[in-house]
């Protein structure tokens, strides 16, 4: 069972009885697997765990935060992405690529993300979870931040970054696998920027 | 056991005793899994199968062709890629993207490729095979054809295409999953072209 990181006030109030937390996370994992991200409700998770919906919100926050905790994901998109998306639009491609590559370079991030990707490759339920999560939590946020942009273009930008981590961390193709983050940023940030902002 | 396609003279001469062919393919699969693509030799495969190396060449051709047959891959890179690489350099990005997307849109191509990708995600042997094959048979050919180009740039182009098929066929994110090949070509061919030829 992953403990939430211990710094900062919003996380402090998520603590609670370990048994209750475990029951909620177990119910959440089961619901996400059965119904996908979109089909899961806090109320449904609470019902399965035998607790009040307000308690789920109190411990974990939003449905996205329940998902991140249940899947033991190593990041909260709602905390990381806004930093990269804020600031000069001309640098958004570079900031996104740097954030994404830096995260994937950490084994603590990579292992659970590869787990999700593997499960997406072996069954429709896994694919549905990843699809809805990537669509809503990641790509949706980027689209909201850069303004009116064709969804296909945001996905082309995401594809550039996803492909690089597949070649770099799964297939481990050289020289990409050993290139520095700076070199890879220089390599693909212009392409990501062009997809997003033309 | 996959039979080779039945048209054309080079394939005709690859036929032989089904038992001998099976023994060679079995030995080849085992060697590729144990020693990777680079570490496998036709001589070694022949030895394990109890036949002469000349017979392996006679049935299958090059080591790459043995690999394609052993892995039951649905294409011969040596047949497909030269078509896309020949012709006006200004259109090479578009031709490569169209070839790649068209192949992935076919379930007969997709299923074995996803199988290779899955095995690359679950173990180093699978990753090594895919790495060496993608490196030599695919990316190496593109680098040879477009002239002196940084290997990182060829891999950035490959990453753009790989990422698109992951989002389109594994995660199945809309609107990318349902977009026409023409629309996706228009979306990413400029980025592939820029990576390859600046």
Residue B139: which residues within 8 A CB-CB, separation 6 or more?
Answer: A173, B151, B154, B155, B158
Rounded distance between C-alpha atoms, residue B132 and residue B134, angstroms: 6
pLDDT in tens, B118-140: 778 777 777 887 887 778 777 88
pLDDT in tens, B7-35: 434 443 344 577 889 999 999 988 887 78
Q: Are A195 and A157 in contact (CB under 8 A)?
A: yes
- Chain B residues within 8 A of A176 when measuring between CB atoms: 152, 155-156, 159
Residue of A nearest to B191 (CA): A191
Lowest-pLDDT range of A182-196, B26-40, B177-191? B26-40
Cis peptide before B57 (omega within 30 of 0): no
Predicted local confidence at residue A23, as pLDDT: 92
Whether A7 has a pLDDT exceeding 70, the answer reads no
Predicted local confidence at residue B3, as pLDDT: 43
Contact assignment for A131 to B163 by CB distance below 8 Å: no
Residues 124-183 of A with CB under 8 A from B: 127, 130-131, 134-135, 139, 151-153, 155-156, 158-164, 166-167, 170-176, 179, 183
Tokens of B62: 């090059």
Q: Answer yes or no: is the ipTM higher than 0.85.
A: no
- Chain B residues within 8 A of A180 when measuring between CB atoms: none
Rounded distance between C-alpha atoms, residue A185 and residue A100, angstroms: 10
Q: Which of B96, B173, B165 is nearest to A143 (CA)?
A: B173
What average pLDDT does this structure show over A69-85? 80
Q: Which of B75, B191, B193 is nearest to B138 (CA)?
A: B75
Tokens of B90: 């200004």
What does the radius of gyration of chain A's CA atoms come to, in whole angstroms?
18
User: Mutate which of A160, A164, A183 to test chain B, going by most B C-beta atoms within 10 A?
Assistant: A160
pLDDT in tens, A58-76: 999 998 889 888 877 777 7
What average pLDDT does this structure show over A183-196? 96
Residue of B nearest to A193 (CA): B191
Residues 87-126 of A with CB under 8 A from B: 114, 117-118, 120-122
Predicted local confidence at residue A2, as pLDDT: 43
Banded pLDDT at A11 (limits 50, 70, 90)? very low
Predicted local confidence at residue B161, as pLDDT: 96
Q: Are B176 and B184 in contact (CB under 8 A)?
A: yes
Mean pLDDT for all residues in chain B: 84
Contact assignment for B162 to A160 by CB distance below 8 Å: no
- Gap from B86 CA to chain A (nearest CA, Å): 25
Predicted local confidence at residue B1, as pLDDT: 40
Contact assignment for B170 to A121 by CB distance below 8 Å: yes
Say whether pTM exceeds 0.80: no
- Gap from A142 CA to chain B (nearest CA, Å): 15
For the stretch B67-73, contacts whose Cβ atoms lie closer than 8 Å and that sit 24 or more positions apart, written own/partner, are B67/B28, B67/B32, B67/B37, B67/B40, B67/B133, B67/B137, B69/B2, B69/B4, B69/B25, B69/B28, B70/B25, B70/B28, B70/B29, B70/B32, B71/B29, B71/B32, B71/B112, B71/B116, B71/B129, B72/B2, B72/B112, B73/B112, B73/B113, B73/B116
Predicted local confidence at residue A118, as pLDDT: 79
The torsion of the CA quartet B36, B38, B41, B47, rounded to 10 degrees, works out to -20
């Amino acid at each position: 069972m992953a403990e939430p990181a211990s710094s900062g006030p919003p996380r402090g109030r998520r603590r609670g009885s370990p048994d209750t937390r475990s029951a909620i996370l177990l119910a959440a994992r089961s619901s996400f697997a059965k119904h996908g991200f979109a089909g899961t409700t806090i109320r449904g998770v609470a019902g399965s765990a035998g607790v009040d919906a307000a308690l789920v919100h109190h411990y974990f926050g939003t449905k996205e935060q329940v998902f991140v905790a249940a899947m033991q994901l190593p990041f909260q998109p709602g905390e990381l992405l806004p930093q990269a998306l804020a600031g000069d639009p001309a640098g958004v491609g570079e900031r996104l690529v740097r954030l994404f590559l830096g995260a994937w370079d950490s084994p603590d991030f990579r292992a659970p993300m590869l787990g999700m990707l593997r499960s997406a490759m072996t069954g429709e339920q896994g694919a549905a979870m990843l699809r809805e999560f990537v669509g809503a939590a990641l790509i949706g946020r980027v689209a909201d931040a850069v303004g009116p942009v064709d969804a296909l273009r945001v996905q082309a930008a995401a594809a550039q970054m996803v492909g690089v981590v597949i070649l770099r961390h799964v297939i481990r193709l050289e020289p990409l696998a050993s290139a520095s983050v700076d070199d890879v940023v220089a390599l693909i940030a212009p392409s990501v920027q062009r997809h997003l902002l033309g």
